[in-house]
Amino acid sequence: MFARYIMFGKEVFDINRDECEAETGYRPFTTFFMDLSIADNYGKAAILETYDRVVKEWGHNVKYFTEFALMLSMKAVFYYDVRKNMELNGLYADLYDKARDFAYENFDENGRRYFYEHTD
């Protein structure tokens, strides 16, 4: 489900949208996974900065923020299953929990329903 690229001499991974849709029934439409993959190369601070930027810029948009949460979850799975990096797995799992809490606290009933239907 993950595609490997070399960008500016750095290894990055992105979602293969067709495979993701075949496996999960959901087709990603944003670049959030790639954005997080680029941040991975610059460490925890860059990942946290990317999280904060997305919350600020997209936290009001239920559809985009829901996809961001899905990508956080997929990154956690990626670092657990594919890369065997428990530190980044834990970071992404924590950020997913934080995003879930943000959605619960900031979305109305319809927004929360959309979020949970797509993330649970």
Query: Which helix (DSSP H) or strand (DSSP E) does residue 17 occupy?
Result: helix 17-24
pLDDT digits (tens, 9 = 90+) for 2-59: 766 576 677 777 778 888 888 888 889 999 999 999 999 999 999 999 999 999 999 9
Q: Quick check: is 12 in a domain?
A: no
Which residue pairs from 76-79 have beta carbons closer than 8 angstroms and sit at least 24 positions apart in sequence?
A: 78/2, 78/13
Amino acid (one-letter) located at 104: Y
Q: Quick check: is 20 in a domain?
A: no
Q: Quick check: is 2 in a domain?
A: no
pLDDT digits (tens, 9 = 90+) for 75-101: 999 899 877 889 999 999 999 999 999
Backbone dihedral angles phi then psi of residue 52, each to the nearest 5 degrees? -60, -40
Q: Quick check: is 22 in a domain?
A: no
Write out the residue range of the structural domain in which residue 87 sits: 31-119
Specify the number of domains making up the chain. 1
Q: Quick check: is 98 in a domain?
A: yes
